């Protein structure tokens, strides 16, 4: 039996959907990185070197990693 005319369209739509999801994920990663770098620079420029500043920077890294994990698992809004 041959393919129906809808199978080819279905595959193409699926590919387009995957490309869109990947594009939004990459956009999110890029924007997240830009904001995190700006915040890191702000913290380093305005806080004295201290254990608390180091802890804030550690938590910033953790926040970025958790956000990346979340978008990979659930996607973006």
Do the domain assignments include residue 10?
no
Distance CA 28, CA 74 (A): 13
User: Is the model's pLDDT at 6 over the cut of 90?
Assistant: no
Distance CA 65, CA 11 (A): 33
How large is the average pLDDT for residues 55-71? 98
The pTM (predicted TM-score) of the whole model is: 0.80
What is the number of structural domains in the chain? 1
Which residue segment(s) compose the domain that 33 sits in?
24-77
User: Is the model's pLDDT at 1 over the cut of 60?
Assistant: no
Do the domain assignments include residue 12?
no
Do the domain assignments include residue 17?
no
Do the domain assignments include residue 2?
no
Do the domain assignments include residue 6?
no
């Amino acid at each position: 039996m041959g393919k129906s005319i809808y199978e080819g369209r279905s595959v193409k739509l699926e590919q387009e959907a995957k490309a869109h999801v990947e594009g939004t994920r990459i956009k999110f990663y890029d924007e997240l990185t830009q904001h995190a770098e700006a915040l890191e620079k702000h913290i380093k420029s305005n806080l004295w070197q201290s254990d608390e500043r180091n802890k804030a920077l550690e938590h910033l890294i953790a926040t970025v990693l958790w956000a990346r994990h979340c978008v990979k698992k659930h996607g973006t809004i």
